Amino acid sequence: MSETIPPVLPLELVDKCIGSQIWVLMKTDKEFTGILRGFDQFVNMVLEDVSEYEWTSEGLIRTHLDQILLNGNNICVLIPGGAGPNETL
């Protein structure tokens, strides 16, 4: 007999990530890792202790930011606990 698992809404999963490390892949060539501090119903996100990664023709560029607000319209993938791209910087 199979146990029925109740459905989980996407915002519930994001809510469980508050206060944790998250890796965010954008629709552009940018990625961010940081501590998720909050979000709204549009998945606009506030991250702290952020590493911004940008893929350019010269390679991967990493920039540190104290805090950032990401527009949910530009977010493509969220990876809870993600440490970001393997960097050789």
Within a domain: 21 = yes
Within a domain: 47 = yes
pLDDT in tens, 16-60: 999 999 999 999 989 999 999 999 999 999 999 999 999 889 989
Confirm if 44 and 72 have CB atoms less than 8 A apart. yes
Q: What is the pTM of this model?
A: 0.85
Within a domain: 2 = no
- Residue 37 sits in a domain whose CATH number is 2.30.30.100
pLDDT in tens, 77-87: 999 988 888 75
Q: Total structural domains in the chain?
A: 1
Q: Where are the alpha helices (DSSP H) in the chain?
A: 10-16
Within a domain: 70 = yes
